[in-house]
Structure 1
Amino acid sequence: MRQTIPAIPPQILNAAENNDLVIFVGAGASKLCGSPDWRGFANGVVVELKNAGVLNFLAAEQLQSIPDARRTLSVAMNLAKTKGVKINYEAILHPAKPRERGARLYEILKDLNSIVVTTNYDKWLHKANREQITVGGEDAAARPETLPMDYLEAKYYKNEHFLPYVLTEKGAVIHLHGSYKDEDSMIISMRHYMRHYADEKVVKFLNHLFTHCTVLFLGYGVAELEILEHIIRSNDPVEKNSASEPRHFLLNPIQSHQVQQNQFTENYFSDECGIRVINYEIDEKGYDEVVDVLEAWAPAIKAKTPSLLDYQHQLQLFITDESDALKRTSAIKLVQSQPGLTPFFLNSIKDARWFNELEANGFFAPTSMPPLVITEEQDGGLLYEAPRWPALRYLENVATEGREEDAERIMAVLRKITAYGSESGFDNWRIWASCATIMSLLPLNVIKFKDIDMIGVWLNTMFNADLIGHNICTGLLPRLLESLAPDDADKALALIEKITVEKSDA
C-alpha cells in the first residue's frame, strides 16, 4: 500500500521562503548511489593495501575484522601514508555509474539550489551542468576522455573554508568532513573528530548555522548517529531553542511495525538535540522512499533568488559583533560578492579593527573612488553629479575616535588618494570635501607641513569649492590657530595662504 508523503513543517516552508534553509546530507544519500557504507569504505582501503603488497592475507583479514569500521579505516589510511601507497578513493567511493534512484536524489538536491552541508567525502553533490563541461564549443560530455569533468571540484572542504559567509552563497556545498580529493582534509578517526570540533572556525561556523538557519537533515540513520551527535553537541542547540519549537528537522526512515522504537528515536532527538523528527515509512520501497519525499517537497522548498535586502540582513548578522575576526572576514567577502551592499556596510561599521582588513581588500584603493557621473540634459547641457565614496564615511567614523595610531593610517590613505587625484586629474568635489572633514578631525601632530599642499589639490576642483573651504575653515584652521605648538602656527599660515590663493584663482 502506497504510504502518504509527510507534510512539510511550516518552519521549513518559512525558511525556504526567507532563504534560511540549509540541507544537511549524510551517508545514506550516497549509499543510494551505490557508494559504500563505513565498512565497505574501510575494506576497500584494506584491499588496496593488500594489492600493493603492504598487507598479506592474514593481516588484511585481521584488520578488516576490527568491529569499528572507522577504526579499521583510520589504521589503514595511516598505514598507506606511512608506506607511500596512493589510495584510489575515486574508485572505492564511486561506482562506475550511480544507481538511478540515488542519481535522481542528487538531481533534486542540485535543482533545489539550496545551501548544502554534508559529512560525505564523495563527489555526488558536484554534478556539472552541461554548459560547465563544454570546452571549445564542443560537447565534452560526448568525449570519453573528458568524462571526469562531469563532476566539478569541491570548493569548500577545509577548516579554513568554514566561514559564516559561505552560508550566504546560494547553492554552495560545504564538505564538513573534507573531500576524497584531499586525504589530509578527511575527518575519520576519533582524534580527527576531537580536533575538528574544537577548531574555532568549525565551532563558529556551526554556531552560526544552527543559530540563524533552519536545518533539514537527510541520509542520517542509526549508523550515522555518532557523527550527528558530534555536529549537534558541538553547539548545544537544545539550550538555545529550549523555549521555542525546534527549528531543525530530521527526515527519518521507519518501518511501520517499529512503533515503540520510532517513539524512542523521536524523543531522543527532541530532548537531546533540539531536532524534530519527520518520519516516512519505507515498508514498500525501502530507503529509496526518501527520493519520493524530497521530490514531492521540492516545488515548495526550492531556494529563492536572494534580494539585496536578504543579503543586507545576512551582513547585519556579521557586523553586529565587530570584535569577531571571522565574522569581519565573512562580512567583507559578502560585500565583495554583492557590491551593492558597500554603502550600507561602510556606513554601519565604526570599529578601527576593520581598518587592516578593509585596506588589504582594496576598499581604500584610489582606483575605487567613484568618478563624476555626467548626463546630457534635454537642452543639450551637461549635468555633473559627484557620487559619495562610502569608504570615507568609515574613515570619518574612526577619525572621530581620535586614536593616534588610527590617525596615522587614515592620514596615509588621504595622502595616497590625493596623490592619485593630482597625478591622474581625477576630480570629485564631494570626495575632496569629505577628505577635508576627515583631516580636520585628526590629531594635529599627524598632519605634516607638506600635507597642507593636499588642500590645494582639493580646492583646485573644476566645480564650486565652497564646501571644501567651509570644512577646512570651520574645522582644521581654528584648531591650528588655537594650538600652542610652533609647527602648527606654520601650518596655519600655509593653510591661510593656500585657501586665499586658491579661492582668488577660482
Structure 2
Amino acid sequence: MGNADSITERKMSDEIPLVPTIPPGLRDAAQRGTLVPFVGAGVSILGGCPSWGKLADDALGACIKAEKFNHGQHEQIRHLTPRMKLSIARAIEAEHGLTIDYAKLIQSDDYSSNVVGRRVYRSLGKLGKTFVTTNYDSWLDTEIVDTEVSVQDAPPVADSTTATPRARRRIIDVNDFTPANLAQDNCVFHLHGSVYDSPGMIMTTRDYIQRYANDRRSDDPTRENRTLTFLEFLFQRRTVLFVGYGLEDLEILEYVVQKARQQSGSGPPQARHFMLQGFFAHQYDLMRSMAQYYAQCDIELLPFRRDQRDWAQLIEVLDHFGSIMPAKSALALQKQTDMEDLLD
C-alpha cells in the first residue's frame, strides 16, 4: 500500500492546476501598485481578434483581392512564419501603393460587444493600473466596468459610485515610452503600435530589428533607444505579469526580455516577474522545461491546465486573480523612489 500511496501522491503533485496559486511576490506587487500586466495575443484572440497566422493570411488575402498577389504565390509561401508573411504583405503595399485596412482585419466594427472579450478584459483590468502590450487592438484602451445589476436586483437607493467606461491613455509614440508615464495610472503602452496608427505598427523583420536595436542609453537623445530604456526601467522597478503569451510567442518575448536585460547589464533585477501560461495535462514535462527556461530570464512560470476549457481557462484564472489581488495605485514612497532613481 505504501508504494501505491507514493505513486498516487506523485501523480497528484505532478498535476497542472486549473488555477495557479498566487505567489506572495505577485500579491504584494498588486498591493503596492507596482504590478504591470504585459499582455499578448492570446488575450486579444479570446476577444475575437485574429491570431498572428490569420492576420498574416488575411493581409495577403487583401493583396489578392486587390490583384497585386495571387493564390499560386500565396500557396508557395504558406509554410512561412506569420512575421515573414506580414513582411511580404507590407512589401506588396509599398510596391503597388496599396493600403491594407489592418484595423478592419484586427478588430471588427462591433468587436467591443464581444461578451467573452469584455469578460476577460474586465478581469484583466483589475490586475493593474497601467498596462504594456505588444497587441495592436484597442481592447485595453478602455476600462471594462463590472456588469450593472438589473432593475429587479438594484438596491433601493441608486449607487452613485456605479462606474462608467473610462478611456485609458493610449501611448504609441516611442518618445512617450518614459518612466514618468509608467508612473501614471490608466495608461496603455502599445510597444508595437496600434490600429489607430497602422503605418507605425511593428510587423516586419526590419521593424523588429529597428525597434529593438542594440543601441545603448546615450547622452545624445537622438541615439538613445527609448524602447530599451523603458523596458530596462520596467523590469528593474516593476513586477511584470505576462498574460496571453504562448510557446509560439517565444521570439517576441526574447526580443523584449533579453534585449532589456542586455541593456541593464549583468546585475540582478530588483523585481521578480511572472508568466501565466496554459498547458494540457500530458504536457507536464514540457511545462517543467519551460519553467526552467523562463527562470533564466528571472520569470516564474504560473501554469494552468487547458484540458477542459482550452485557452478559455485563462478567463477563470484572471477572474480568480482579480478577485484575490485587485491592483492599487503606486504608493507615494514608490513614486518618490522612482524619481530619485531617475535623477541619479
Short-chain TM bin: 0.7 to 0.9
1:20 aligns with 2:34: yes
1:301 aligns with 2:328: no
Q: 2:141 aligns with which of 126, 146, 149?
A: 126
Which residue of structure 2 lines up, in the alignment, with residue 70 of structure 1? 83
Q: Could you tell me how far apart the structure 1 residues matched to 2:16 and 2:294 are?
A: 27
Q: Could you tell me how far apart the structure 2 residues matched to 1:227 and 1:2 are?
A: 25
Secondary structure, counterpart of 1:177 in structure 2: coil
Which of the pair is proportionally richer in helix?
A: 1
Give 1:226's aligned amino acid.
Answer: E
**CA gap 1:151/1:212 in 2 versus in 1, 3 angstroms:** closer
TM-fit CA distance, 1:281: 0.8
Which residue of structure 1 lines up, in the alignment, with residue 308 of structure 2? 284
Q: 1:116 aligns with which of 131, 134, 142?
A: 131
TM-fit CA distance, 1:312: 2.2
State TM-score, norm by structure 2: 0.79
Give 2:93's aligned amino acid.
Answer: A
**CA gap 1:112/1:274 in 2 versus in 1, 3 angstroms:** closer
Q: Could you tell me how far apart the structure 1 residues matched to 2:284 and 2:58 are?
A: 36
**CA gap 1:274/1:293 in 2 versus in 1, 3 angstroms:** same
Q: How many residues align?
A: 297
Which residue of structure 2 lines up, in the alignment, with residue 234 of structure 1? 259
Q: Could you tell me how far apart the structure 2 residues matched to 1:33 and 1:212 are?
A: 30
Give 2:272's aligned amino acid.
Answer: R
Greater CA deviation, 230-239 or 174-183? 230-239
Secondary structure, counterpart of 2:202 in structure 1: coil
Contact 2:129 2:329 (8 Å CA) reproduced? no
**CA gap 1:34/1:317 in 2 versus in 1, 3 angstroms:** same
1:156 aligns with 2:171: yes
Q: 2:342 aligns with which of 293, 309, 318?
A: 318
Secondary structure, counterpart of 2:312 in structure 1: helix
1:46 aligns with 2:66: no
Cα RMSD between the aligned structures? 2.6
**CA gap 1:125/1:185 in 2 versus in 1, 3 angstroms:** same
Which residue of structure 1 lines up, in the alignment, with residue 195 of structure 2? 180
TM-fit CA distance, 1:159: 1.5
Which residue of structure 2 lines up, in the alignment, with residue 7 of structure 1? 21
Give 2:256's aligned amino acid.
Answer: I
TM-fit CA distance, 1:178: 0.9
Which residue of structure 1 lines up, in the alignment, with residue 276 of structure 2? 251
Q: Could you tell me how far apart the structure 2 residues matched to 1:21 and 1:73 are?
A: 33
Q: 1:103 aligns with which of 109, 118, 121?
A: 118
Q: Could you tell me how far apart the structure 1 residues matched to 2:106 and 2:169 are?
A: 15
Please give the residue correspondences for 1:462-473 in structure 2 after superposition, counting only pairs within 5 Å.
Answer: none
**CA gap 1:231/1:129 in 2 versus in 1, 3 angstroms:** closer
Q: Could you tell me how far apart the structure 2 residues matched to 1:176 and 1:227 are?
A: 11
Give 1:183's aligned amino acid.
Answer: S
TM-fit CA distance, 1:183: 2.5
Give 1:284's aligned amino acid.
Answer: Q
Give 1:248's aligned amino acid.
Answer: H
Which residue of structure 1 lines up, in the alignment, with residue 227 of structure 2? 202
Please give the residue correspondences for 1:135-154 in structure 2 after superposition, counting only pairs within 5 Å.
Answer: none
Give 2:47's aligned amino acid.
Answer: C
**CA gap 1:238/1:105 in 2 versus in 1, 3 angstroms:** farther
Which residue of structure 2 lines up, in the alignment, with residue 427 of structure 1? none
**CA gap 1:238/1:308 in 2 versus in 1, 3 angstroms:** closer
Contact 1:123 1:151 (8 Å CA) reproduced? no
**CA gap 1:214/1:306 in 2 versus in 1, 3 angstroms:** closer
Q: Could you tell me how far apart the structure 2 residues matched to 1:3 and 1:21 are?
A: 23
Q: Could you tell me how far apart the structure 2 residues matched to 1:152 and 1:71 are?
A: 34
Contact 1:154 1:179 (8 Å CA) reproduced? no
Greater CA deviation, 222-231 or 47-56? 47-56
TM-fit CA distance, 1:94: 1.5
Secondary structure, counterpart of 2:25 in structure 1: helix
Contact 1:66 1:72 (8 Å CA) reproduced? no
Give 1:185's aligned amino acid.
Answer: G
Which residue of structure 2 lines up, in the alignment, with residue 496 of structure 1? none
Residues 109-154 of structure 1, C-alpha deviations (whole Å, 9 max, x = no match): 2344421100111111123679xxxxxxxxxxxxxxxxxxx99696
Contact 1:33 1:99 (8 Å CA) reproduced? yes
| Structure 1 residue ranges, 4+ long, deviating more than 4 angstroms after superposition | 1-4, 150-154
Bigger radius of gyration, 1 or 2? Answer: 1
TM-fit CA distance, 1:241: 2.9
Secondary structure, counterpart of 2:260 in structure 1: coil
Which residue of structure 2 lines up, in the alignment, with residue 84 of structure 1? 97
Residues 34-85 of structure 1, C-alpha deviations (whole Å, 9 max, x = no match): 211111001111111111222233234334x142121111110221133222
TM-fit CA distance, 1:30: 0.8
Secondary structure, counterpart of 1:249 in structure 2: strand
Residues 191-238 of structure 1, C-alpha deviations (whole Å, 9 max, x = no match): 211211126201110100011111100100011111001111002279
Contact 1:2 1:284 (8 Å CA) reproduced? no
Contact 2:278 2:303 (8 Å CA) reproduced? yes
Please give the residue correspondences for 1:311-350 in structure 2 after superposition, counting only pairs within 5 Å.
Answer: 311-320=335-344
TM-fit CA distance, 1:160: 1.2
Q: Could you tell me how far apart the structure 1 residues matched to 2:312 and 2:258 are?
A: 29
Q: Indicate the percent of aligned positions where both proteins have the same amino acid.
A: 31
Q: Could you tell me how far apart the structure 1 residues matched to 2:57 and 2:43 are?
A: 20
State TM-score, norm by structure 1: 0.55
Contact 2:141 2:170 (8 Å CA) reproduced? no
1:192 aligns with 2:192: no
